[in-house]
Amino acid sequence: MKNLIKFENIFLNKGTVIEEVENINSLIYLNSFIKKKIIKILKLKISPKKLNLNKLHFYIRDNHLNKARLSLIDSINSDKNFRKNYFAVAKNMLENIIGNELAMQNKINISIQLPNNEDSLLPIHSDTWSGDSPFESVLWLPLVNCYKTKSMFILNAQKIKKFNDAFSSKKINSISDIYKKFKKDLKFIKINYGHYLLFN
């Protein structure tokens, strides 16, 4: 692995690190598991090797998306090996940046975005707004190549103080106001399958 101290500095300054997965077998396990479960949930007559997750929108209707996603999340969190393999894709980086005395949240989540479907989009947010610890870090693993609006945007760590000041200001009345104020500072993440994103 490359110089981990370099990644510590990148993480502190930018709030993000993108790197190749550390355990390809774990990635293969996760990908295969999800494809098999999607095939079962959607009752598809296709093999996991032939299922292209980039074309999932050809197999599922918008109004069935959330039910299928919740069923997939249940399957993921019922599998005793899923969490272990998820952690393994970035174990060294996590232990280097965060430490080796780690607690991992009980539930792994999955997001599925269909083209031109705004129902599954999340507005600008911070996990701390819904009670998560400000000291946690998030490991995000794409199952397809993600870029532009197929990905998600992140606020550069250099802008966090400005963001927090604006958020606590009485001039901000809604999430929409925050989005407008910081739109130019939000950068869509470009990340390919086979890599992970770690962010604060």
**Which amino acid, residue 81?**
N
Q: Which percentage of the chain shows pLDDT scores above 90? A: 44
Partners of 154 in beta bridges: 187
**What integer pLDDT is reported at residue 122 of this predicted model?**
64
Which has the closest alpha carbon to 68: 45, 38, 34, 109? Answer: 38
pLDDT tens per residue across span 22-62? 999 999 999 999 999 999 999 999 999 999 999 999 999 88
Q: What is the pTM of this model?
A: 0.83
Asked if residue 82 has pLDDT above 90, the reply is yes
Per-residue DSSP letter, 22:
S
**Highest-pLDDT range among 42-51, 93-102, 167-176, 181-190:** 42-51
Query: What pLDDT does 74 receive?
Result: 96
Q: Taking a C-beta distance cutoff of 8 angstroms, is the pair 200, 15 a contact?
A: yes
The amino acid that residue 6 corresponds to is K
**Angle formed by the axes of helices 65-78 and 24-42, nearest 10°:** 130
Would you say residue 112 has pLDDT above 80? yes
- Across the beta sheet with 195-199, what order do the strands follow? 16-20, 195-199, 138-140
> Given this model, what pLDDT does residue 105 score?
77
